[in-house]
Every structure is written in structure tokens, then in C-alpha cells.
Amino acid sequence: MRPIRVLIVDDQPLVRQGLHAVFAPLDDIAVVGEASHGAEALERLRRTAADVVLMDVNMPRMGGLEATQRICSGTRADGAPKVVILTMYDQDENVFDALRAGASGFLTKDVAPRQLADAVREVADGGALLSSSATRQLIREFVRRPALPSGDTKELRTLTGRELDVFRLLVQGYGNAEIAEKLTLGESTIKSHVQHLYRKLNVRDRVQLVIYAYENGLL
């Protein structure tokens, strides 16, 4: 089984070196490249395949938010890498914008090495993650923004009744095992429904599903 391919994007050489050192002893994660800004990251991705991009926010030439948006602008079928935003700040105002741009995770740079490795595995496997502080910031952002009218999008109308049940529980924060218990279904069945939701709603992961629900007035 091939290792998870990681691209590190940060304008500080010491940070890139430190992140590289986290993954060096691991057999299931391999760093395939580094970049010092967003434009360089895009160029490297044209030449080197990656599964996960660890992305800084504030960089010269092209920042992490613009680079994330460009990387994640295609559909899931395009095979674009997942992006995890790394920031120095515990309360970063960029949480909401980063997630809307397509990021699958948002972590602070003081995260423990083992947690960072686990985060890469989680995102590469189709999951999504936020630090507790980032989650609180995202909730505050939802509350601060004006309420949106309830939507009835054409994508939602393609969902089956069971997929809608799973959708409602997902955006409330329930995991697959919890949803399986609530709906009295097998966990493998729930995973299948989740993949159908991603495909039908054209989202990449659970975080994007929550953003979709918010933007269509469903939260």
C-alpha cells in the first residue's frame, strides 16, 4: 500500500523542516514536496501528485486562502488533494473563509506531532477535522452572519429519504457509528450513504457538507 503523499506549503524554512521531521519516521506518510508560497504550491502540484496539502495562511505572492480555493475548485472526481490549513493563531478569523475555499481541516501549528499525523490520515481517508478552537470560531461566524432563507436546491431533490436522514444527522455533527445506531443500520451502509451525499451535493467532505447546509439556509 503506497504512503499518503503530503505537500508542505509554508514561507518559513524552519517550519517546513519541522513538519518534514514529523513525517520522516513514518512508513504510511511521505513528504513529496515543499513550497514557500501558494503560487509555488500550484506549480509543484502540476508536476507532483499529492493526497494532502499542509497549507499556511499568510505567505507572500499568493496566500493560503487563494491557493486553497484554486486547488479545491474542481469536483471531487477531479482527484484534487485535500487541504489542511495550519495557522499560528488559536482564534483565526480565516476559519470560515478557509473552509468555504475548500479546506478539509484547520489546525494550529502547536498541534502535537502524533495528532498532526493522525489528522493527515483522517483527511486522506475522506474525513475532515477542526481543532476545538477552530470549531468554536466557525460556530461564532455562523451566528454572526445573517440567517439565510431555507433552500430547496435541485441537488437536495435528488436525495433519497434515507440520504436526507443521514444528511440531517451529519450536519449536526454525528459520526458514522452514531448515525448507524440512530437509524438502526450498519456502519458500512452509512458510509455508502455518505459517499452518495458527497457525490450528489458535489462536496468533498463533512466540513463542506456543513458549509453547503449553511449556505442553503438549512442550519
Residues 193-210 have pLDDT tens digits of 998 998 898 887 777 787
Which three three-digit cell numbers place residue 207? Answer: 466540513
Q: Is 128 found in the same domain as 65? A: yes
Mean pLDDT rounded to a whole number for the chain: 84
pTM assigned to the model? 0.72
Q: Is 136 found in the same domain as 65? A: yes
Q: What is the pLDDT of residues 46-102, one digit of tens each?
A: 999 999 999 999 899 999 999 999 998 854 445 689 999 988 865 556 777 777 788
Q: Would you state the pLDDT for residue 148? A: 54
Number of structural domains in the chain: 2
Q: Is 41 found in the same domain as 71? A: yes
Distance CA 191, CA 189 (A): 5
Query: Would you say residue 208 lies in a domain?
Result: no
CATH number at residue 167: 1.10.10.10
Q: Give the pairing of strands 29-35 and 82-87.
A: unpaired
Query: Would you say residue 118 lies in a domain?
Result: yes
Return all residues near 148 (Cβ < 8 A) that are at least 6 apart: 214, 215, 216, 217
Residue tagged 486547488 (cell numbers): 71
- The DSSP H or E segment spanning 113 is helix 113-124
Query: Would you say residue 206 lies in a domain?
Result: no
Query: Range of 166's domain?
Result: 156-201
Query: Would you say residue 91 lies in a domain?
Result: yes
Does residue 177 have a pLDDT over 60? yes
Distance CA 23, CA 9 (A): 15
Q: Is 160 found in the same domain as 128? A: no
